[in-house]
A and B are shown apart, each in its own frame.
Chain A
């Protein structure tokens, strides 16, 4: 069974706007990770946030983690056409086997 669930399932924004997507999970975790997948290709690791961290930045990406609510968010600022992709959250419980959500499909319109 999947640990994480992303919301929304799909998101369409104008170039230059910010994109926010959320992830909720069920059990305790060691860390939470976000991945990007361009159409039918392999997943690319974007960012990892540990369970004792609340916020992390990497370039135009900002991730938050609220372990009390078992939720995370990924913000992409100043979106570009190249950000069009599916985004997955993945949770790592104490055995470190990643469990993936179904993903959020982001479309950035020119």
Chain B
């Protein structure tokens, strides 16, 4: 099983629909992130969570919300999907030891390809 699992892998939805993307991890990491990737723009941070009770907006949070249901689960919702939210969405995790993150890089899921028509 993958360390970071994202569901669904692909989704086509209609404008105005609410959709939830789910992420679960078996790494035991405390930090979780949602990024979106658009061609030519790299990855942009939507939301991040440093622990279950700590959720923060990233650079492009408008139109999105998140829920950290448990240390291992972090879901992203599009309240009312619009076509420019068509993108590849990635969940990632990292670990904090003591007061500082461990410098071991992020672990990414395989992504959810979302198309809003």
Contacts and interface: CB of A to CB of B under 8 A. Distances in A.
Interface of A: 1-2, 30-31, 33, 35, 40-45, 48, 50, 88, 90, 92, 96-103
B74 interface: no
A109 B50 CA distance: 42
Interface residues of B, number: 28
Contacts of B110: 41-42
A97 B109 CA distance: 17
A48 B105 contact: yes
Contacts, number: 61
A101 to B, nearest CB: 5
B109 A42 contact: yes
A88 B92 CA distance: 15
Given A96-B101, A99-B45, A103-B42, A41 B106 contact: no
B73 to A, nearest CB: 18
